Structure 1
Amino acid sequence: MGEGNDAVPASWSDERFEINDLVARYVEAVALFDVALYRAVWAADAVWVVDGRGSFHGPSDITALFVRLRERQEFAVQRIVSGRVEFGAERSRATGRWVIHSLTRTAGSGAELVGVYDDEYVRESDGWRFRERAFTPLYRGPVALEGAVFAPPRAG
């Protein structure tokens, strides 16, 4: 183990894996426009801080905004560039930071976005959820996405 990780109990590697899975489910929900999966990643008292749009509270309002933003896109995919998770004294809470690269196409126009998610996680009875997710853009601009867009596969 690397320096600094020696103080973390081995069982926290399982917790870290579960949080990585939470982030992966978020990315999958965006790419496949899976509203049920998207709603399921948020804690009951969650806050989503969206660049230029303010803060949205609770899974219902957060999911409603997601639907409004995502339904106009023909294509949307996020790629995780890097990420890390840190645990404090409370085993039921953690924080994380993820750099993402996103490609979207809306009304035939492609867009590229690079940014940072700063997260707070909470462990609920059935697993980890986002307590807060705040996005900060680092780059936003046009990109050529002239290829065909296909329907996503059904959830299996």
Structure 2
Amino acid sequence: MLNSDDRLALLELVNRYAYHIDLWQVDAWAGLFLEDGVLDESVMGMGRYEGQKAIAAYGAELEADVLHVVHLMMNHVILDAQSDRASGTVFALVEANTRSTGHARYYIRYEDSYVRTAAGWRFELRTIHPLFPPQNLSPA
């Protein structure tokens, strides 16, 4: 069972994910994952990135294409909690304006596995699932 400090730390982890990528703090964003952590967007057709270096490289690719982005995170629920591991889900609305696709809107669900480390809670695995088909609001 997790205490309230752990629950707040997991909420902070989820929110920092959005904060760091929206401000293009790519190294800090990748650092929220375990060294061998995984960001899996393959269900969305966007790839699977294993390890902090691969996640940071993906973040740099996004930064080169995305002009504006915002992640609105909500409904964070911790589904399974042990002393040093937990899983959870988070819903998000993501708005992005890119050079390649124009203005797009995504309603997504993150399925997460978290691990407590000496540096605090980190993502072991973050898998992204669409809730609705992506909306292209304007052409590139």
Fold shared by both chains (TM-score > 0.5): yes
Give 2:38's aligned residue: 47
3-state secondary structure, aligned to 2:131: strand
One-letter amino acid matched to 2:136 = P
- Corresponding residue to 1:99 among 84, 91, 99: 91
- Corresponding residue to 2:137 among 126, 139, 143: 143
3-state secondary structure, aligned to 1:104: strand
Cα distance in 2, alignment partners of residues 55 and 20 from structure 1:
24
TM-score by length of 2: 0.88
- Structure 2 unmatched runs, 5+: none
Identity %: 26
Cα distance in 2, alignment partners of residues 40 and 63 from structure 1:
8
Cα distance in 1, alignment partners of residues 71 and 64 from structure 2:
16
Deviating above 2 A after TM superposition, structure 1's stretches of 4 or more consecutive aligned residues are none
Aligned length: 134
Give 1:17's aligned residue: 8
One-letter amino acid matched to 2:49 = F
One-letter amino acid matched to 1:31 = D
Structure of greater Rg: 1
Deviations 1:17-40 (A, max 9, x none): 000000111000121011121122
Where relative contact order (Cα < 8 A, 6+ residues apart) is larger, the structure is 2
- Corresponding residue to 2:118 among 113, 125, 130: 125
TM-score by length of 1: 0.79
Tell whether 2:69 aligns with 1:80: no
- Structure 1 unmatched runs, 5+: 1-7, 145-156
